[in-house]
Structure 1
Amino acid sequence: MRFQDNWSTATLVSTRDLAPGIREFILRPDNHVCAPYAVGSHLKLSVLVGGQPDVRSYSLVGEAEPQGYRIAVRLAEDSRGGSRYLWSLQPGARVDVTSPTSLLQVDWQRPQYCLVAGGIGITPLLGAAQALMRKGADVSLHYAVRSRRDAAYVEELSTLLGERLTVYAADESRRLDLAQLFSGLSGGATVLLCGPMRMLDAARSAWSGCGRAPTDLSYETFGSSGRLAAEPFKVRLRGSREEIIVPRDRSMLDVLNAAGHEVMADCRRGECGVCAIDVVEVEGEIDHRDVFFSAEQKHENRKLCTCVSRAHGVVTVDTLERTDA
């Protein structure tokens, strides 16, 4: 597996509200050691959803700090419940966390770096901006939000980046034009992007339209963000009459495993593809929320990543389980 989860216990040291619906949490491990971690690192946290244990993943904000790991969580009413649980915690609460891990690869020798954030997607990019500024790199950050008051960490970023920071607030009629932004970059430039799935899809299309190499666009998404609102859907198992309901607040991966159908998984963020299973038939629409499959593969609907993807309607799948004859 790409991720070796090393769990330990941490204490919630403090919280603060950064913007409407966005709260910062400082988590200090029991050993009080917050070793340096790679850009784009995230933590897995143990949460309770509906009284049942579950796991959520959150990007670490900024570079390592002595007081503890810093994450920021948007309270999402349409989410699976992890954010509501974390928002219910008070300083002093005990939380199980993993060691930081990252899949984001940064080439530190590029002539230009363009960071693009959408909403809460700013969280992994603050650390990238800090690291690049410390190295004296040619870096800019483009931050798209619904309104300026929703721009978490904007004061910290403004102090760090100055005129290299551009905020695009929709309520100020200023919107980010990705095609225009990408076309103005120098040759050999690289983009680091984190935002909702719609932004990612638009970015990949604009990047390709500018004739840029796909490997020069690195990205993360929210993992659970999608085109469609989360709602319960039905999963049918190929070769049997079994039908399983996936509630709006649980993943297809967890529901299948709870029902005794073993589906392997690793990142649980829609990035590695380990949990992908075959799609046999769709009665409705699949909401692919992963960043593992290409746009063409998603359009074909032959596979889906069970850790994050959802559906409207009914999906018949093949978990590749076979019983002995």
Structure 2
Amino acid sequence: MAAQSQSRWQRAQVVDAELVADGVRRIVLEVEHPEHAAPGTHVDVALPAQDRQLIRSYSVVRSEDGGRRLTLSVQLSPTSRGGSQAVHALAVGDELTTTGPVQSFPLAVGAGRYVLVAGGIGITALVAMASALRRRGADYELVLVGRSRRVMAYLDELSAEHGDRLRVHVDDEATPLSVPGLVGEIAAAPNAATTELYMCGPIGLMDAIRSSWTEHALPQTNLRFETFGSSGRFDAEEFLVRLPQLDREVAVAADTSILDALNAAGVETLSDCRKGECGLCLAKVVEVEGTIDHRDVFLSDAQKQRCTNLCLCVSRAVAGYTGDHASVTLHLT
């Protein structure tokens, strides 16, 4: 059995569902056991699929009516492993099972300044944080990054709520975010040592921010992040996982993860976040035919280069230009 959240499962019903941007669907759930969801929390949702049940984690965008109504927003991914497709198929009246709010990305109190950076659908993890900071009267800035305004969820309401505290960078308007410029501004400010940066978005964006943060010798404890674990250096493709200790071979399709493929094949694994953050599903890499595409934020850059471990929930393998399927030989701990 895959390890799931310790928060209890409960029934939930869809009470509202609509598109809030191209490819982004907002789902409002009314839950059986209300519990206020603090900024940075998520819920795990059990979603129906064709041949299996999917467990996916989604940030709580808003918590209303004492936590009875929880708003989620999900982007339909072209490389969906089934989760985003299932969410986009939900309609008002549909019932499903969800956990209560789980905190994995807490907003701290007492920083001199806060900078929130959201790339694409990563805004879902930061909407509640920005609102909380505004209510506190904190010194904060919200930075949104996207390919086009039409795919950026909640842009208009965030602009109305946060005014000049909102910075928007749009690729197709030739206003991309300069990561060195942003982090350089933070480092040059008098309150640099007490500024906290919270980020959620594609791995490439977050890696660039982490690298620049380190270059400016800013406190590592002041850099907080959450990822949706779906971005990689290569397009997803089918590959083979070999498990000599179990005398098993399992094919991993392009639209599923190693973790889900193993679980579907009856191989017991441990997991929690399913986003490449916690490291609970870490496995030892014995041999690779092809290239490992590490999509996690748990391993350091040096560990990824050594390629001695990978996270089952998000990491993949690609064959490159050989035309054959890649394969990875693993030892499960």
TM-score (normalised: structure 1): 0.93
Separation in structure 2 between the aligned mates of residue 60 and residue 120 of structure 1, nearest angstrom: 12
- 1:76 and 2:77 matched: yes
**Aligned residue number for residue 323 of structure 1:** none
> Secondary structure of 1:141's partner?
strand
- 1:157 paired to 2:158: yes
Aligned partners of 1:65, 1:9: CA distance in 2, in Å? 17
Alpha-carbon distance in 2 for matches of 1:226, 1:259: 25
Q: CA deviation at 1:251?
A: 1.9
Task: Name the counterpart of 1:130.
Answer: 131
Per-residue CA shift, 1:3-61, capped at 9, x if unaligned? Answer: 41311111100111111101100000134x2x222321111111122331111111110
CA offsets 1:103-127 (integer angstroms, 9 cap, x no match): 1133211111000000000001010
Equivalent AA in structure 1 for residue 46 of structure 2: S
Letter of the aligned partner of 1:46 in structure 2?
Answer: A
From the superposition, tell whether residues 131 and 280 of structure 1 become closer, same or farther in structure 2 (CA, over 3 Å). Answer: same
Paired residues of 2:169 and 2:175 also in contact (CA < 8 A)? yes
State the number of aligned residues.
318
What is the CA distance between 1:241 and its match in structure 2? 5.2
Match of 2:219 in 1: 213
* Residue type at the aligned position of 1:273: G
Distance 1:106 1:30 in 2: 26
Per the alignment, residue 323 of structure 2 pairs with none
Residues 150/65 of structure 1: CA separation in 2 closer, same or farther (3 Å cut): farther
Match of 1:228 among 234, 237, 256: 234
Between the aligned partners of 1:238 and 1:79, the Cα distance in structure 2 is 29
Contact 2:36 2:101 (8 Å CA) reproduced:
no
Displacement after TM superposition at 1:243 (Å)? 2.0
Shift of 1:71: 0.5
- 1:301 — aligned with what? 307
Moved more, 198-207 or 110-119: 198-207
Q: Is this contact kept in 2: 1:238–1:280, CA < 8 A?
A: no
Assess if the C-alpha contact under 8 Å between 1:12 and 1:26 holds in 2: yes
Gaps of at least 5 residues in structure 2 are 319-325
Give me the whole-angstrom Cα distance separating, in 1, the residues matched to 2:52 and 2:36.
32
Q: Give the C-alpha shift of residue 148 in structure 1.
A: 1.5
Instruction: Report the more deviating stretch, 251-260 or 269-278.
Output: 251-260
Paired residue secondary structure (1:236)? strand
Residue 256 of structure 1 is matched in structure 2 by 262
Quote the offset at 1:244 in angstroms. 1.4
Q: 1:210-263 CA distances to partner (integer Å, 9 max, x unpaired)?
A: 211221110111123322222211111235653210112222112223334322
- Name the SS of the counterpart of 1:244 in structure 2: strand
Change (3 A) 1:240 1:26: closer
**1:70-106 per-position Cα deviation (integer Å, ceiling 9, x unaligned):** 0001111211011111111210000111111021133
Percent identity over paired residues: 42
SS in 2 for 1:123: helix
Tell whether 2:53 aligns with 1:53.
Answer: yes
List aligned pairs for 1:10-21, cutoff 5 A: 10-21=12-23
Greater CA deviation, 282-291 or 132-141?
282-291
Q: 2:253 matched to which residue of 1?
A: 247
Structure 1: gaps of 5 or more residues: 321-325
Partner of 2:91: 90
* Matched AA of 2:11: T
Task: Tell me, in whole angstroms, the C-alpha distance in 1 between the residues paired with 2:152 and 2:271.
Answer: 33
Rounded Cα–Cα distance in structure 1 between residues aligned with 2:15 and 2:245: 51
Query: What is the CA–CA distance in structure 2 between the aligned matches of 1:226 and 1:49, rounded to whole Å?
Result: 24
**RMSD between aligned alpha carbons?**
1.7
1:316 is aligned to 329
Find the aligned partners of 1:259 and 1:207 in 2 and give their Cα distance.
Answer: 42
SS at match of 1:184: helix
